[in-house]
Chain A
């Protein structure tokens, strides 16, 4: 049973798609094409001496133990941020979904952190966690805990994970809350009448029904952690101590903007781009299948 409407001619569809195509070409295909081209060149900072080197930049990257370490670190970081941000958001959403007094104010307040710029959120965390000027940092040191993220890689990683996750909790919270509110009351009430208690009801009814939301958020969070945390990490640790908080995006910035190695930096961008394309493709396939069924 095909219920699609097919319009004759090709002018109108082309005209309708054109603005979008222009925008995408200008803001995506053109720069992306440039990046792919640069990734196959070796050039000085000023772009004067430019030689085509084919896949050399990629080969060098894959041969570089530091790059592979950064890749592994990024995976760990993304996993930790997503897990923490989604876990907290889910817990908050469960509580906000109840009938509590002032729930509107409560919900609005929870959304605020999303509007804080990454560099600002980093500064806020510094005020709290800096071993010498931060409230909590000072207190920890006074209590005899050796808290110094300038030198302790694990502490630094913990801090950037927390700061990055904090910013994403709001976003996840909105989606989880909306997801829960779209679960038919009848289902939860039926479970309640059958005697399912809180946790049991959540585990067997709410959570499975939230699966599409959870999956969508997982992809969004992974992409967020991989790309949009640059500002936070750069402001907090610059990737240090050592390389303990240097993710792939930070390395792209450092090699390209600080180190003026445009070729290698572009090659890294292209690798990241392929990663995002793959993740988006998986998401589209999975989401498409869910809506079809």
Chain B
């Protein structure tokens, strides 16, 4: 019953509210999930778009966190009131791309119908791949993308006798550094990680060119099976368990909860989103540095590209929506792809530029010279050639699979089970989620 009221409530709130001015402009609504300073940037983008032309009026509406925004859009669709554009986080991609019938209009479809070119080639491979069909056609519009990096506390490094300008690059080096930090008592927490699943399993798989799931990580079929219980994955989780045991690794919660530890400077080494830079620059009371995600030299000699996180923009359909409205949406998406806007957005937020031109413009403007390390995320995303293991994940209900993995990891960290048992159990439970998803889609 609670769910019903939630759905009804959000559906009622879903009625697009359009201001009365400029009656002849086509009005489109964009639901987003960006808070605080990021929300201000959205307002800026909407204003600039509205000023840049006089046929479309875009209204940006904040709908809560990522999950709330997606749920609101789903409820609104069910009520025939879906917004024109909705920002959906990367784990929702599987659900959106497999949406039946005419729920969404994918980018290639929108471009074909409206005749407005939206070129996939404009976008950085690792970004584009996550939101594309296996044949390269784009399904949703890349918008705010980040990847995971290693943040470290230079003050703690100095105190522990480590070179603050040379962060560890392999896992054995990370372990040694964490031990040195612990031995010197240089930070309350030697090492921690945000997004334990995204970083320690999903990114780990991409970096080492290991499949996270069969069927090219789910890109090529709903019948994909999870494969993150290989001996390499088990070895890595066992390493984390061993580090937790000797006090060099501290588990600080699910999803982004451990960010608080990073911002406070309590951690010597912490893994987190590259988009944490914005907050760190503004609030950190310690000297921080960024490094590439470490790799295990026993598995791979040169690590592959990392995968993205963040969100993309989906075009939704509703009964009575006119071709003019879709055209307006396409115009806005085209506007977003301009290098000036892309560069400014990434410089103001800490997200990576999603277009090549945006990255080059930032370089030309000297942003990366003034902010050393800010381009590390882009370099890590763009290095090497992407393989089927490094394009990202296309799994239904990935957020639930992440929850399951976190639950099993927590059980292992409590000493309740071994690394192998934790990953086996997460794979079994996760596969069940995938089968349920497959069943509902096929229905």
Interface residues, chain A, CB within 8 Å of chain B?
Answer: 28, 31-32, 34-35, 42-51, 66, 132-133, 150-153, 227, 230, 238, 240-243, 249, 252-254, 256-261, 263-266, 269, 273
Q: In the assembled complex, which residues on chain A have CB atoms less than 8 Å from the CB atom of B259?
A: none
B443 proximal to A (CB < 8 A): yes
| Cβ < 8 Å to A, chain B residues 76-128 | 77-78, 95, 98-101, 103
Measured as residues with beta carbon below 8 angstroms from the partner, the interface class of chain B is 35 or more
B1 A31 Cβ-Cβ under 8 A: yes
Q: In the assembled complex, which residues on chain B have CB atoms less than 8 Å from the CB atom of A46?
A: 74, 77-78, 99-100, 103
A44 B414 Cβ-Cβ under 8 A: no
Known contacts being A152-B414, A252-B3, A257-B71, is A44 close to B433, with CB within 8 Å?
no
Known contacts being A240-B254, A240-B410, A260-B397, is A50 close to B443, with CB within 8 Å?
yes
A42 B443 Cβ-Cβ under 8 A: yes
A269 B3 Cβ-Cβ under 8 A: yes
Q: In the assembly, what is the distance between CA of A156 and CA of B13, in Å?
A: 35
Task: Please give me the 10 A-B residue pairs with the lowest Cβ-Cβ distance, nearest first.
Answer: A241-B410, A31-B4, A48-B100, A259-B400, A49-B443, A51-B443, A44-B440, A242-B411, A256-B3, A242-B407
B141 proximal to A (CB < 8 A): no
Instruction: Identify the closest chain A residue to B67 (Cβ).
Output: A258
Measured CB to CB, the closest approach of chain A to B26, in angstroms, equals: 25
B397 A42 Cβ-Cβ under 8 A: no
A151 B413 Cβ-Cβ under 8 A: yes
Measured CB to CB, the closest approach of chain B to A233, in angstroms, equals: 14
Q: In the assembly, what is the distance between CA of A254 and CA of B401, in Å?
A: 12
Measured CB to CB, the closest approach of chain A to B398, in angstroms, equals: 10
Q: In the assembly, what is the distance between CA of A162 and CA of B67, in Å?
A: 28
Known contacts being A50-B443, A150-B253, A151-B413, is A261 close to B436, with CB within 8 Å?
yes
Q: In the assembly, what is the distance between CA of A47 and CA of B79, in Å?
A: 10
Complex A-B: 25 CB contacts under 8 Å: A31-B1, A35-B1, A42-B440, A44-B100, A45-B99, A46-B77, A46-B78, A46-B99, A46-B103, A49-B101, A132-B252, A133-B260, A150-B252, A150-B257, A151-B413, A151-B414, A153-B414, A230-B2, A240-B406, A240-B407, A240-B410, A254-B403, A256-B3, A261-B440, A263-B440
Q: In the assembly, what is the distance between CA of A51 and CA of B439, in Å?
A: 10
Q: In the assembled complex, which residues on chain B have CB atoms less than 8 Å from the CB atom of A253?
A: 2-3
B2 A252 Cβ-Cβ under 8 A: yes
* Of A42, A133, A241, A257, the contact of B3 (CB 8 Å cutoff): A257
Q: In the assembly, what is the distance between CA of A45 and CA of B440, in Å?
A: 8
Known contacts being A44-B441, A49-B443, A132-B266, is A242 close to B399, with CB within 8 Å?
no
Q: In the assembled complex, which residues on chain B have CB atoms less than 8 Å from the CB atom of A264?
A: 436
Q: In the assembly, what is the distance between CA of A1 and CA of B98, in Å?
A: 70
B320 proximal to A (CB < 8 A): no
